[in-house]
Structure 1
Amino acid sequence: MSLLNHTDRQSSSIFSKTPDSDVEIVSNDNVVFYLHKKYLEINIGAFPPAETPTNGEPVCLSESSETLEILFQFVYPRRYPLLETLDFDALMLLADAAEKYEVFPLIYACRSEFRNFLQTNSKSVLAFAAMHDYRELVIRLAPTMLDLSIPELVNILPNNLLKPCCIYHESYLNAVKQAAKDVPEHHCGNYTQWYRSLLRSLSEIMDKPSIIMPRNLDATFERFLGSLNTSNHCCQKALTTWRDRIKSIVIALPPLSLPHSTA
């Protein structure tokens, strides 16, 4: 993105010019940050050494002033700002910049903040976490991976994580197949209602295997049981038996385990 004329530039309210500032960095929206090379050299892994000459010219970066203003606060010896007010898009831009410039305190702050978006932005967090080797987040997002196809996982996961995640994914698909085979026999006057409820439950499990994870299973079957007339005790008993069979299969599955990072 081309910069505006120098006369249109604005100074950062936090990093304004001081007598000892010795480098100028300009954001893509034309805000100037007056900084100190000594802090950049020590705290930014991807920044040139302090003795690198700039010939008085500003360094132009591709990030916005909103992103850079937070990033540079993690470079200086001061209290770090909280990230909890950032929406997901802003957090992603900040995390990307933190990785790009290797600002390690900010990297870990963003990793922690991503936990607030595991439900609402799970697939995007999974892709970013896999790309940057945030293994604790990848493991937390195991339910998301269960509901993705193998081609989707191939497009998201790096080679070193693909095999264990696909094995984990396949183990749950096999559990779903086993659950379909273990449907208890049931015959009563309300067989049609029971069978329709059963078909709905099977369809949901096939479409979304994560619903048979141990933490989801009871709530899932409570929902299915609720679809039956409360007077149909034999139907409820048959469905409860099926739930218990599935639970025994799922509990026996090993949790997702990832290889140790080589970084």
Structure 2
Amino acid sequence: MGSASNSDRPAVTSERFCQQDSDVIFRSCDDVLFHIHRKNLETNTGGFPPEEFDTKKEIVLLTETASTLELLFQFIYPQRHPDLETTPFEVLDPLAEAAEKYEVYSAINICKIRMRSFVKEQSLAVMLFAAKHGYYDIVSETASLLLHVPIEEILLRLPPQLVIPWVLYVDSWNKVLRNAITYSTKVIEGTRNWAPTTYYDRLGHHVSQAATYCISCNFNLDIAFGRVLRHLDSIQSLEKLDVIFGHVDEVCCPHTLAVFGAWRLSIEEDISAIEPLVTVL
């Protein structure tokens, strides 16, 4: 919000907000004038306008565009408010920010609800909005969807109070990944006790004793474990367990299926034990 306009650029007046009996005039950043009644501002907002402005003589400059203000000011009058159900994110995002900035109470909650509906499509933008305004439940909702974003990119944009919680949250996922890899090593060592001293493949051919084969079906466990481990390469991969363990379907032995099932279950249990970010906060 700025002081009176000294701009020589021509301005037009909003067709919706052009009442002659208004006592406050706002000018958008793209030079549209909005004639608003101070009574409605005082009743329905907490951030309009500062007392130091003589709004009967001055035009108050705002940093928002006309399209955002056109929506925002409809929320301060006793009328049916705009239906934001189909409002695209590029329109909703600046509106939600303006509602928070100027404390337009009747718009704040509906904007928050609609922003939440874009958690999957606009995860980062929604998370940053929620973090800025203290909606930590929404921050937690978006957290697991942003594990693919480099941590430094997130930390540079988070408010200070969320930096340490975010680092701890990401580290908890890294611990799950480390445990998954460690678990596999233990299982591989344990399965070496299954096999006889001489190894044969399914066609009866002698094979190297360096590999580990299931005593029941001669399934090459080392190859199977290697397939899984190659894909357990980041914390993002922990969200693709169906794909990573999908090759196990080709195993015919219940013994071997049980090994991979236990491995996957251990990962899923570790993931379920991760504290939501809101808990850390």
TM bracket, shorter-chain basis? 0.7 to 0.9
Deviations 1:18-42 (A, max 9, x none): 4x32222222333332221111122
Alpha-carbon distance between aligned partners in 2 of 1:208 and 1:79, rounded to the nearest angstrom? 44
Q: 2:19 corresponds to which residue?
A: 17
Q: 1:257 corresponds to which residue?
A: 278
Q: 2:236 aligned with 1:208, yes or no?
A: yes
Structure exhibiting the larger radius of gyration computed from Cα positions: 2
State the TM-score, normalized to the length of structure 1: 0.80
Preserved CA contact (<8 Å) 1:154 1:162? yes
Amino acid aligned to 2:17: F
Q: 1:198 corresponds to which residue?
A: 228
Q: 2:253 aligned with 1:237, yes or no?
A: no
Amino acid aligned to 1:116: S
Preserved CA contact (<8 Å) 1:3 1:29? no
RMSD of aligned alpha carbons: 2.8
Identity %: 34
Q: 1:177 corresponds to which residue?
A: 178
Alpha-carbon distance between aligned partners in 1 of 2:166 and 2:97, rounded to the nearest angstrom? 24
Q: Secondary structure at the match of 1:92?
A: helix
Preserved CA contact (<8 Å) 2:18 2:34? yes
Shift of 1:231: 4.7
Q: 2:243 aligned with 1:223, yes or no?
A: yes
Which segments of 5 or more consecutive residues in structure 2 lack a partner in the other structure? 192-211
Q: Going by fraction, where is helix more abundant, 1 or 2?
A: 1
Q: How many residue pairs end up in the alignment?
A: 246
Preserved CA contact (<8 Å) 1:70 1:81? yes
Q: Secondary structure at the match of 1:177?
A: helix
Deviations 1:69-127 (A, max 9, x none): 11001111222212222222222211221222221222222211111211121112112
Q: 1:217 corresponds to which residue?
A: none
> How do 1:81-160 residues align onto structure 2 when only pairs under 5 Å count?
81-160=82-161
State the TM-score, normalized to the length of structure 2: 0.75
Shift of 1:199: 2.6
Counterparts in 2 of 1:49 and 1:253: CA distance versus 1, 3 Å: closer
Q: Secondary structure at the match of 1:14?
A: strand
